[in-house]
Chains A and B, each alone.
Chain A
Amino acid sequence: MKQVDICIIGAGPVGLFAVFEAGLLKMRCHLIDALPQVGGQLSEIYPQKPIYDIPGSPGILAQDHISNLLKQIEPFSPTYSLGERVETVEKQADESFTLTTNQGTQVNAKVIVIAGGLGSFEPRKPAIENLDVFENGKGVIYMVKDPELFRDKNIVLAGGGDSALDWTIHLSKIAKSLTLVHRNETFRGAPDSAEQVFQLANDGKINLILKSNITRISGNGQLNEVVIADHNKDETAHAADYLIPLFGLSPKLGPIADWGLNVDRNAIQVDTFDYSTNVPGIFAVGDINTYPGKLKLILCGFHEAALMAQSAFKYVYPEQKLSFKYTTVNGVNSF
């Protein structure tokens, strides 16, 4: 099990900056994020958008801001578990916490800092009855991790965004059959990819079904059929070993809601003295917290992280006195 002073849930800008503030006080951090990369919303949703209200940066691209933060926290050697979601938090006899992720990773920490933004990004699910029956290895897959799984299989892909187009192109090379179902008759994103998909359909390499929706799925334990309805509600059945619905990601609070924290409208209530939650040793900073006057701004999250670190110090070094020092006096001492 990994041992750290602070386990930070969420590797967006505020989670990353929390590493810096903790590092100045000699506290080592581990970050866990459900997304496969750091940066949170900035990297996932708007990497190429300029941000104008970061103090000292008249205008900076979201992804560049994340790169700068990574450089800023480098001296404190944070560690990461990416693409994992924290499922459970257990208090230990010594007052520390053990966190367990959906991949089975375990981290022991004296302090937990939840910097989870709007929650963990999870795949959007279409409204199809029985969809959940075929999840978890029974044929319905929301994220393609290992393309080899689909070699020589009958695949139905649903969606019209960039990732639906990209995976159609990629998987058409190895699948036994591939059917792409899209609600509209055109694809608005990535014109190059859309053109390739139409070409694949013209060449008979894929089955492209437009202006249609999936209405039913069935199988005996394992998925074997997907029923697709066109705009006239005429249905056709298609053999399918796998159904891959690709409708983007949407943030969900997820298991955090079950950890005994006071939650109000999908946000964690905190004390503005140090952004502590109602559970001693657990703090919440950034977009995921709420308090009177809360503003969801990156710069506010940075401030919250700085104050949080002062209180977290008391959990990590209960015997020591904390003396506040400016970075201009001592610089940044790596560890």
Chain B
Amino acid sequence: MVNITVEDRNGTQQQLEIPTDMGLNLMEFLKASEYDIMATCGGMAMCATCHIEVLEGLDKLGERIDQEYDMLDTLPDADDNSRLACQLQLKDEMDGMVIKIRGEY
């Protein structure tokens, strides 16, 4: 289990307890938790609709792969704190992270 704080589109923050033993990535968990997130391509890093901003804990995450960089490059509003939630496999190191949902909906 890890605790991650999620800020929705209205600016409301909520701390969520997330299982790390189910092989989920962050996009899948956010979608399952009924956050408004399109995730058009279903997790292939091919649409950038699961764009999130990491408010705290960017250093806890692994490197972006080229495909993720490539998709983030297509977004008008991405910056250095941007990630695609579908590329973030949930793991214990992510405990305490704060993220904000950004992708269009």
- Taking Cβ atoms with an 8 Å cutoff, the residues of A that contact B are 41, 45-46, 49, 118, 124-127, 158-162, 182-184, 187-189, 245, 247-248, 250-251, 265-266
Interface of A is mostly: loop
Chain A residues with Cβ under 8 A from B59's Cβ? Answer: none
A118 touches B76 (CB 8 A): no
Report the minimum CB–CB distance from A13 to chain B (whole Å). 14
User: Which residue from B38, B73, B74, B77 sits with its C-beta under 8 Å from A251?
Assistant: B38
User: Which residue from B47, B73, B76 sits with its C-beta under 8 Å from A126?
Assistant: B76
A41 touches B41 (CB 8 A): yes
A188 touches B47 (CB 8 A): no
A126 touches B40 (CB 8 A): no
A247 touches B74 (CB 8 A): yes
Q: Is B79 an interface residue (CB 8 A)?
A: yes
User: Which residue from B48, B74, B79 sits with its C-beta under 8 Å from A160?
Assistant: B74
Chain A residues with Cβ under 8 A from B70's Cβ? Answer: 161-162, 188-189
B76 touches A124 (CB 8 A): yes
Report the minimum CB–CB distance from A132 to chain B (whole Å). 14
- In the bound assembly, the distance between CA atoms of A118 and B41 in angstroms comes to 10
Q: Is B16 an interface residue (CB 8 A)?
A: no
A160 touches B47 (CB 8 A): no
Q: Is B1 an interface residue (CB 8 A)?
A: no
B38 touches A118 (CB 8 A): yes
Chain B residues with Cβ under 8 A from A126's Cβ? Answer: 76-77
Chain A residues with Cβ under 8 A from B74's Cβ? Answer: 124, 159-161, 247-248
Report the minimum CB–CB distance from A138 to chain B (whole Å). 20
B49 touches A250 (CB 8 A): yes
- Interface centre among B73, B78, B104, by most chain A C-beta atoms within 10 angstroms, is B73
Report the minimum CB–CB distance from B79 to chain A (whole Å). 7
30 contacts between A and B (CB under 8 A): A41-B41, A45-B41, A45-B47, A46-B44, A49-B44, A49-B46, A124-B104, A126-B76, A127-B76, A127-B77, A159-B73, A159-B76, A160-B74, A161-B70, A183-B73, A183-B78, A183-B79, A184-B73, A187-B73, A188-B66, A189-B70, A189-B73, A247-B74, A247-B75, A248-B48, A248-B74, A250-B40, A250-B48, A250-B104, A265-B36
- In the bound assembly, the distance between CA atoms of A126 and B75 in angstroms comes to 8
Task: Give residues of chain B (31-47) contacting chain A, Cβ–Cβ below 8 Å.
Answer: 36, 38, 40-41, 44, 46-47
Q: Is B69 an interface residue (CB 8 A)?
A: yes
- In the bound assembly, the distance between CA atoms of A262 and B46 in angstroms comes to 30
Which chain B residue shows the least CB distance to A287? B40
- In the bound assembly, the distance between CA atoms of A245 and B74 in angstroms comes to 10
User: Which residue from B36, B47, B76, B104 sits with its C-beta under 8 Å from A245?
Assistant: B76
Chain B residues with Cβ under 8 A from A188's Cβ? Answer: 66, 69-70, 73
- In the bound assembly, the distance between CA atoms of A115 and B58 in angstroms comes to 39
- Taking Cβ atoms with an 8 Å cutoff, the residues of B that contact A are 36, 38, 40-41, 44, 46-49, 66, 69-71, 73-79, 104-105
Which chain A residue shows the least CB distance to B103? A250
A124 touches B75 (CB 8 A): yes
> Given the interface contacts A118-B38, A183-B78, does A45 sit within 8 Å of B46 by beta carbon?
yes
User: Which residue from A45, A124, A183 sits with its C-beta under 8 Å from B40?
Assistant: A45
A41 touches B40 (CB 8 A): yes
User: Which residue from A45, A125, A162, A184 sits with its C-beta under 8 Å from B76?
Assistant: A125
- In the bound assembly, the distance between CA atoms of A159 and B71 in angstroms comes to 11
Which chain B residue shows the least CB distance to A121? B40
- In the bound assembly, the distance between CA atoms of A184 and B105 in angstroms comes to 24
Chain B residues with Cβ under 8 A from A266's Cβ? Answer: 105
Which chain A residue shows the least CB distance to B77? A127
- In the bound assembly, the distance between CA atoms of A248 and B45 in angstroms comes to 13
Chain A residues with Cβ under 8 A from B48's Cβ? Answer: 248, 250
Which chain B residue shows the least CB distance to A214? B76
> Given the interface contacts A250-B47, A250-B49, does A160 sit within 8 Å of B40 by beta carbon?
no
- In the bound assembly, the distance between CA atoms of A124 and B41 in angstroms comes to 16
Report the minimum CB–CB distance from B81 to chain A (whole Å). 13
Among all A-B residue pairs, the 7 with the closest Cβ atoms: A126-B76, A248-B74, A160-B73, A188-B69, A161-B74, A188-B70, A189-B70
